[in-house]
């Protein structure tokens, strides 16, 4: 059945039938020339059934993850080849009574508003609303803008709510899943590389937060680079093997926590010893700028935009070699003894202290030990301070008194002193300071 191209429907009918916002439709017409309605003598738009199905077709491609510009390109490619994009497409019957349920659309399409709407939809576990907010955003703004201003900042907002115990882990995982699926779809729909350079992107061992590296992959791919994404928790030797296999020009590493920054530190050392250029970034380097002094690689900046620009600069060979600081002898000795005696230290702590949270004491001890080792490796035990906020939130959520944290630190200090016998001075001094600071 052919689809009528006779102009018969006014703007109100089109908006009710498709669910598209009037501003979005006008933006499509202005930017892309699709659709191209006819006008009445009074200047009012008149659309055909074919126009309506065209709009639905474009919105369908958006729901699959394409940006509106890429969807229009695909539409034009079909037409250029002589194939009607709607061939075989069953036309809908345009019936738009006032009672027809409307697709979620907002009249406020500012970036701040779109981000707030997306966050709210995620916190309410409303997948359809969250997806429609993104579709509306992608129809009005470039892919890069929505990915950074809505998805990235929205994820950071939800992460902050979780960290402060104002959002559940289920809500954070739900939002992350939606965001990752959209990035995957956009990456799959990206055009083929146009540049020769190859960028290898991944996370060091034990880093499981993959939103930022995947976003970097998408934006680099849209700049024309060949990008190989290795994902989460990648051992250093796997990076080296893949560099050799794909002839990568640079490896980009992303870490979000103190623990994984230490893993990144070790991976970067391994790669630079093999003369492989390394760029790196992530939340933890914004939180503790001093860590950068110890990483043998090129810091990519505190935003995704700066990271893209820095990678492009590095690929042009315009950056000097980085000289990383080494651990002091005191820290080196403390780290070696702490790692050697850690199991004994943690066993002693469990014997000495009443449980802060019965079901979480093992997790808390292990978490703190990992962070102490990471901070020593990265040159400053004070880096652990910010990570202690997680332990404080855990205690508050279980309504435990603040004094228990001070007691925990004092007993940890005694256990360190018992098993390291003076060789762990930086650890002991820091633990005693924390015990004093957390006294009620």
Q: Which CATH class is domain 193-315?
A: alpha beta
Residue 368 parent element (H or E): helix 361-377
Q: Is 253 within 8 Å of 280 (Cβ atoms)?
A: yes
Quote the tokens at residue 412.
């940890």
For 269-315, write each residue's pLDDT tens digit.
Answer: 999 988 889 999 999 999 899 999 999 999 999 999 999 999 999 99
State the Cα–Cα distance between residues 140 and 134, nearest whole angstrom: 10
Q: How confident is the model at residue 93 (pLDDT cuts 50, 70, 90)?
A: very low
Check residue 398 and give its pLDDT. Answer: 65
Whole-model pTM: value is 0.73
pLDDT of residue 219: 94
CATH code for residues 111-187: 1.10.1240.10
Band of the pLDDT at 255, cuts 50, 70, 90?
Answer: very high
Cross-strand pairs, 130: none
Domain residue extents for the chain: 1-103, 111-187, 193-315, 329-437
Two domains, one topology: 111-187 and 193-315: no
Q: What is the pLDDT of residues 109-144, one digit of tens each?
A: 789 999 999 999 999 999 888 988 888 888 788 889
Q: What is the pLDDT of residue 380?
A: 94
Tell me: the pLDDT tens digits for 139-188?
A: 788 889 999 999 999 999 998 888 777 888 899 999 999 999 999 988 88
- pLDDT at position 96 is 36
Cα 378 from chain centre: 24
- Selected from 1.10.1660.10, 1.10.760.10, 1.10.8.60, 2.120.10.30, the CATH number assigned to the domain covering 1-103 reads 1.10.1660.10
Phi then psi for 230, rounded to 5 degrees?
A: -100, -15
Once rounded to an integer, what is the mean pLDDT over residues 341-360?
A: 76
DSSP annotation of 274:
T
**Strand, coil or helix: 24:** helix
3-state secondary structure 401-437: CCHHHHHHHHHHHHHHHHHHCCCCHHHHHHHHHHHHH
**Is 97 a residue whose pLDDT tops 50?**
no
Q: Which residues of 390-418 are buried (b: 16+ CB within 10 A; e: fewer)?
A: ebeebbeeeebeeebbbbbbbbbbbbbbe
């Amino acid at each position: 059945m052919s689809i009528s191209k006779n102009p018969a429907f006014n703007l109100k009918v089109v908006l009710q039938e498709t669910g598209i916002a009037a501003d979005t439709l006008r933006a499509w017409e202005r930017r892309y020339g699709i659709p191209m309605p006819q006008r009445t003598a009074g200047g009012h738009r008149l659309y055909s059934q074919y126009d309506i199905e065209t709009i639905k077709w474009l919105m369908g491609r958006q729901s699959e993850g394409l940006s509106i510009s890429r969807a229009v390109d695909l539409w034009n490619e079909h037409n250029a080849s002589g194939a009607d994009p709607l061939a075989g497409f069953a036309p809908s019957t345009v019936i738009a009574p006032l009672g027809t349920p409307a697709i979620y659309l907002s009249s406020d399409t500012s970036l701040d508003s779109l981000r707030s709407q997306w966050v709210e939809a995620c916190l309410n576990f409303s997948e359809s609303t969250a997806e429609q907010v993104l579709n509306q955003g992608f129809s009005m703004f470039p892919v890069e803008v929505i990915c950074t201003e809505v998805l990235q900042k929205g994820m950071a907002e939800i992460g902050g709510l979780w960290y402060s115990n104002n959002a559940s882990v289920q809500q954070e995982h739900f939002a992350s899943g939606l965001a990752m699926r959209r990035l995957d779809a956009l990456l799959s729909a990206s055009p083929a590389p146009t540049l020769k350079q190859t960028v290898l992107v991944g996370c060091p061992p034990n880093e499981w937060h993959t939103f930022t590296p995947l976003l970097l992959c998408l934006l680099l791919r849209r700049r024309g680079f060949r990008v190989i994404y290795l994902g989460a928790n990648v051992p250093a030797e796997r990076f080296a093997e893949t560099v050799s296999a794909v002839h990568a020009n640079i490896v980009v590493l992303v870490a979000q926590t103190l623990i994984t920054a230490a893993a990144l530190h070790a991976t970067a050392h391994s790669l630079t010893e093999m003369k492989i250029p390394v760029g790196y970034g992530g939340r933890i380097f914004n939180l503790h700028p001093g860590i950068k002094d110890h990483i043998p690689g090129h810091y990519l900046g505190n935003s995704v935009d700066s990271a893209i620009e820095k990678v492009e600069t590095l690929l042009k060979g315009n950056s000097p070699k980085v000289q990383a600081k080494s651990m002091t002898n005191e820290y080196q000795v403390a780290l070696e003894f702490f790692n050697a005696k850690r199991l004994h230290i943690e066993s002693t702590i469990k014997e000495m202290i009443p449980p802060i949270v019965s079901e979480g004491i093992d997790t808390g001890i292990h978490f703190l030990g990992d962070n102490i080792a990471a901070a020593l490796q990265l040159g400053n035990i004070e880096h652990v301070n910010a990570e202690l906020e997680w332990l404080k939130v855990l205690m508050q959520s279980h309504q435990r008194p603040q004094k228990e944290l001070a007691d925990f630190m004092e007993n940890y200090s005694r256990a360190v002193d018992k098993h390291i016998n003076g060789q762990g001075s930086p650890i002991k001094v820091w633990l005693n300071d924390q015990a004093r600071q957390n006294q009620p």
